[in-house]
Structure 1
Amino acid sequence: MISTILTLFFLGIGLFSIITNGFYSISSEGIRYARIQHKELPQDVTDLNIKIKVICMFISGLFLTLCGVSRMIGYSSHASISLITMSLFSVYSVFEALYYMYWRTFGFMSISIVLFLFIFLGY
């Protein structure tokens, strides 16, 4: 049951990140829309930082989707793929939180670390 929920989580979050951040990358108003979605960043962040965030979240979406698909088809080492994916995502969120030192980025980091620990403990 929990494994199914994690698989759906990886697929849902991954596909959402790919679609939204892919749209932000190609849209002329993408930066404005990305600022609205990524409210975990400080309001005074530069357009370049928003672009970097969009690229990082797009790449994260690819990894999360691939992880979800590998779990869905029953790939034999899906636990290690899940662990690697969440490790990378957690490291990214820690760097983001330390860079911005903003309370919302620390919330994002906390959620990422909790999910990493959840997978690390064997779910």
Structure 2
Amino acid sequence: MRKGGEMFIFKIIIVVFGLIEIMTNGYYLFGKDKIMKAKLQHRELPEEITILQLKVKVMLMFLSGCLFLITGIASFFEEKEYLLFLALIFFNLYALCEALYYRYWKIFGFFIVSIFMTLIYIFLRS
């Protein structure tokens, strides 16, 4: 693969991830009585989560999807890859706050996966 091809693929993955988050969480958020289906997708959350907490999670994941979609597309056209890095950092902070709030082992796994995404970006940039 030519130099930079890996970063191109990573950007595509970020854009697709953003689209998937927008579609799935938008479906849960804006669909009539769909919020309980979100609990099936977000199995990393504790069983005793309230409807309000689930709605907040879905809203934040929807916004994360928007952020990844916008910054991913912008990084293709404007060569503003730093925006992609900032989006990853914000996503890491969100995952960390969620892990600290719930103190549930599956959510720490989600946080670790988000860190890996950022580490892959850093590796590809170097």
TM-score, normalised relative to structure 1: 0.92
User: Which sections of structure 2, spanning at least 5 residues, go unmatched?
Assistant: none
Is it true that 1:5 corresponds to 2:9 in the alignment? Answer: yes
**Of 4, 15, 24, which residue of structure 2 is paired with 1:20?**
24
Question: What is the TM-score normalised by the length of structure 2?
Answer: 0.90
- Per-residue deviation, 1:82: 1.1
**RMSD over aligned Cα atoms:** 1.3
1:86 aligned residue: 88
- Runs of 4+ residues over 3 Å off in structure 1: none
Q: Which residue of 1 aligns with 2:100?
A: 98
| Shift of residue 104, structure 1, vs aligned partner | 0.9
Alignment of 1:38-49 (within 5 A): 38-49=42-53
Measure the CA separation in 2 of the matches of 1:95 and 1:30.
25
Deviations 1:22-80 (A, max 9, x none): 1111112221111011111011100000000010001000000012111222x1322x1
The aligned residue for residue 76 of structure 1 is: 79
Aligned-residue sequence identity (percent) comes to: 33
Counterpart residue type for residue 17 of structure 2: I
Which 5+ residue runs of structure 1 have no aligned equivalent? none
How many residues align? The count is: 121
